[in-house]
Amino acid sequence: MSLIPILELPHPHLRMVAADVAAGRAADPAFQRLLDDMFETMYAAPGIGLASTQVDVQERFMIVDVTDGHEQPLVFINPVIRARSVELRVHQEGCLSIPGIFADVTRADGIEVEALDRHGKPFVMAVDGLLATCVQHEIDHLDGKLFIDHLSPLKRDRALKKYDKLRRQGH
């Protein structure tokens, strides 16, 4: 297994929209190895989610594990949000692609997501709380979207200026 470099802002590939994962790709040993390497990379960071876009792969899949002890590793291939709750939830988000920046983001509290698992088998999962926040954050990555895009122009501007400053200081 090996760690994969994570793209950081302002890398332009973070803004790319990923294409669907092709049928049969789950049977490719290289794809399974990529998933294992992504889990290793996410746990090492440490992070609770990692989208293909962040490791410079433009195919629609992501991994998530919001547990403390690596207890619920989830793979979502070609994820689609089928339903979202009216209730919203605010969570202070961060992103491995914008290190050092954290801000409150409002998203649906609960969602129903349809996807394929790592073996290519379809499933539907209802999630809420932190897991729902994380799944929405990761699906955004597949569409070239970052959590700072959910902020008001003023707050986004402040976050980006802070990020620039951190980078100039060598963080």
Which residues are tagged catalytic? 138
Q: Which CB, 145 or 158, lies closer to ligand GNR?
A: 145
Q: How far is the CB of 31 from ligand GNR (least distance, A)?
A: 19
Question: Which one of 9, 14, 34, 51 is in contact with ligand GNR (CB under 6 A)?
Answer: 51
Name every residue whose Cβ is closer than 8 Å to that of residue 49 and which is 6 or more positions away in sequence: 42, 62, 63, 64, 65, 66, 134, 135, 137, 138
CB of 91 to ligand GNR, least distance (A): 6
Q: Which residue has its beta carbon closest to ligand GNR?
A: 47
**89 or 145: whose CB is closer to Ni ion?**
145
Which strand (E) or helix (H) includes residue 37?
A: helix 29-44
Q: Does 79 bind ligand GNR (CB under 6 A)?
A: no
User: Which residues inside 125-154 make contact with ligand GNR, applying CB under 6 A?
Assistant: 133-134, 137-138, 141
End-to-end CA distance of the chain: 27
Q: Which does 150 bind (CB under 5 to 8 A by kind): ligand GNR, Ni ion, none?
A: none
Q: Give yes or no for a cis peptide into 5 (omega within 30° of 0).
A: no
DSSP 70: S
Partner in contact with 78, chosen from ligand GNR, Ni ion, none, beta carbon below 5 to 8 Å by kind: none
Of the two residues 25 and 107, which places its CB atom closer to ligand GNR in the complex? 107
Length of the chain: 171
Task: Report the half-sphere exposure of 87 (CA within 13 A, side-chain side).
Answer: 8
Whole-number Å distance between alpha carbons of 56 and 78:
16
Name the residues that contact ligand GNR, by CB under 6 A: 47-51, 54, 91, 93-97, 133-134, 137-138, 141
